[in-house]
Amino acid sequence: MKFSNFLFPAAMDPGQDHAIIQETLQEAKLCDQLGMDMLWLAEHHFDGICAYVDPVAFAAALAACTSRIHIGFAVAQMSLHHPIRMAEQMALIDNISEGRLVVGLGRGTAYNIYDYQGYGIDPNEAYERLLEAEQIMIKAWTSESYEHKGKYWNLRLPLLRPRPYTKPHPAIVRACSGEESMLGMARAGRPFLMNVQSNEVTRQRMELYRRTMRESGFDEATVARNVDDTWIWRNIFVAETDAEAKRLALPAFRTQMEFRAAMRNKVYREQGLFLKQEDAAGARNEAQHAVLCGSPATVTEAIAQIDRIGVGGLILVFRIGPMPYEVAQQSIRLFMSKVAPNFARPRLS
């Protein structure tokens, strides 16, 4: 199993932005030094849920200040990006990182109307924009004298520069919040990113993903390769004892959930709408499903249960909510020294 750090730092006060962005850079460099496989970046605007806001600019910074760790998006909200500008930026970061980039794409937030309003985008167009933009980016990376006439963009360009470092183009993965979108990736023979789910739902979806790929005509080698490139999300905290881990992590997790809920409720009070009704009983909001928390032995066993399901990697949020960086840093060090070695495998190359 591969391990990654989902750099998803909240800045609950605008006055914290600078400090948290700088700390997140240090967190990324620490993970690179300790031999973690990947860093994932989020995209959220105007609400403080993700302090660095722009994963593209932040990925470029990380590509320049790290040497081995892979960098991916979980995800870039493609409805907010011009596809040719995005294709150029991805090709540049792919060159800076010498092939360490994974382009994770999604339709756009299902919760924060500010993201769409701030960019002047109709949220009802988000999914169609994602599909058209992804097609444009792949063609721009792999062809020349490219012309596109579509619903949202009419484009003509001679040759996109720089050319991608990775041939034919950087790896692309799609986030799938629901079962139907996951099945679409299975039928297309593509890997996916799964949001926080219980282990039981994770098991059901992975079994369905494998079965659907086989029924769609893919051989076992292709199924295995795509499973290996599929990642699932959990929050994590490792301390010397279970009691210490719970004392430090669970209040931070509750504060994180309360902060996000307050932002969504603020939108509702102002504008009378939710883009998507949050399920209060959903796994994302329940610590027992969303947080791997405890001593190294406890967390090792929790990860072993997921490993037996069969997934490629874990997207792990180490710095939970308002947790001080120094506390998250110690959790990362404990994880990499006492948990990750129990699941040793060759590093990503």
At 144-172, the pLDDT tens digits run 999 999 999 999 999 999 999 999 999 99
Do you know the residue count of the chain? 349
List the single range of 169-173, 260-264, 329-333 with lowest mean pLDDT: 260-264
Question: Could you give the CA distance from residue 235 to residue 69 in angstroms, rounded to a whole number?
Answer: 20
- The model's confidence at residue 114, banded by pLDDT at 50, 70 and 90, is confident
Question: Could you give the CA distance from residue 270 to residue 267 in angstroms, rounded to a whole number?
Answer: 5
At 69-113, the pLDDT tens digits run 999 999 999 999 999 999 999 999 999 999 999 999 999 887 788
- Average of per-residue pLDDT across 249-261: 94
Q: What is the DSSP letter of 51?
A: T
C-alpha to C-alpha distances, 123 to 111, 114, 128, nearest whole angstrom: 10, 10, 10
Position 281 scores a pLDDT of 44
Sign of the CA dihedral running 242, 245, 250, 251: positive
The SS3 assignment for 12 reads coil
- Percent of the chain with pLDDT strictly greater than 70: 95
The SS3 assignment for 240 reads coil
Compute CA 90 distance to the chain's CA centroid, rounded to the nearest angstrom.
Answer: 16
- Decide if 78 contacts 133 (C-beta within 8 A): yes
pLDDT, mean over the chain: 94
| Nearest by Cα to 197 from 255, 127, 263, 279 | 279
**What phi and psi, each to the nearest 5 degrees, are found at residue 343?**
-125, 35
Give domain limits for the chain: 2-343
Q: For residue 90, what are the β-bridge partners?
A: none
- Superfamily name with CATH number, domain 2-343: Luciferase-like domain (3.20.20.30)
Question: Could you give the CA distance from residue 272 to residue 270 in angstroms, rounded to a whole number?
Answer: 6
- The model's confidence at residue 280, banded by pLDDT at 50, 70 and 90, is very low
- The model's confidence at residue 348, banded by pLDDT at 50, 70 and 90, is low
Q: Classify each residue of 215-245 as buried b or exposed e, where b means 16 or more C-beta atoms within 10 Å of its C-beta.
A: eeebeeeebeebbbbbbbbbbbbbbeeeeeb
- Average of per-residue pLDDT across 47-70: 97
The SS3 assignment for 189 reads coil
* The pair of three-digit structure tokens given for residue 59, joined into one six-digit string: 């990925």
